Amino acid sequence: MTKLPPQKSRFARIDTWVFDLDNTLYPQTADLWPKIDARITLFMMRLFGLDAISLRALQKHYYRQYGTTLRGLMTEHGVDAEAYLTYVHDIDRSSLAHNHSLAEAITALPGRKLILTNGSRHHAIETAKQLGIDHVFEDIFDIIAADFIAKPDEGAYMRFFDKLKIDPKRAAIFEDIVRNLVVPHARGMATVLVLPAHDEGPEREAWEIATGDEPHVDFVTDDLVGFLEGLIGD
């Protein structure tokens, strides 16, 4: 599926390739995000002493309001970020298989390759290692590097551009959350929405469901490897 064919001309000037991590670099049918989501609920159960059903709505409210549940818990309840990140990312990643095709496709892209995530650097490293793609990235910009300002907040992207010396007009970004492409598009990045294959993917709130027709989406694909290979092939 593509909104438009991956026009090489649109990417000819790109020298920086930015990838979200969760549900973007690994299939949205994988079990990693449900595991993390469940750990977030467990963290909140221990924090508030309430049952999961009572806390799920609050968890999702903070996610929508602040970009991450963590930011909401920090702002509203003074939660220690390090303790939270350590707890929620303490998951088994062994279900992920090495993706040699993805590693080769990203390696073949001309220029810098970066991960931009609302998760932790540790989680990104361990997940990329499990996928066999950790060696292809120059750097990882995580929620800590962003001073806990999460995507889709403009401040997260501005910190990213500034700290890693990125010209957004020469950069492309791949994301599974459509609202996280609004600011990149406005700043001149080529935006690619990565959708689940075969209409399968993680549970989404109604407001999160994307069509690919949003004005801030330049391209949409349900096959990241195929899309990238289309950019670098003859």
- Predicted local confidence at residue 178, as pLDDT: 94
Over the stretch 74-104, which tens digit does the pLDDT of each residue have? 999 999 999 999 999 999 999 999 999 999 9
pTM of the complete model: 0.91
Residue 2 is given by DSSP the state B
- Predicted local confidence at residue 54, as pLDDT: 83
CATH number for the region 32-88 comes to 1.10.150
- Predicted local confidence at residue 202, as pLDDT: 59
User: 8-29+98-232: what fold?
Assistant: Rossmann fold (3.40.50)
In this prediction, the residues of the chain whose per-residue pLDDT falls under 70 are 1-7, 198-209, 233-234
Backbone angles phi, psi at 220, to 5 degrees: -140, 140
Name 213's Cβ contacts closer than 8 Å, sequence gap at least 6. Answer: 3
- Residue spans per domain, the chain: 8-29+98-232, 32-88
Q: Which residues pair with 139 in a beta bridge?
A: 114
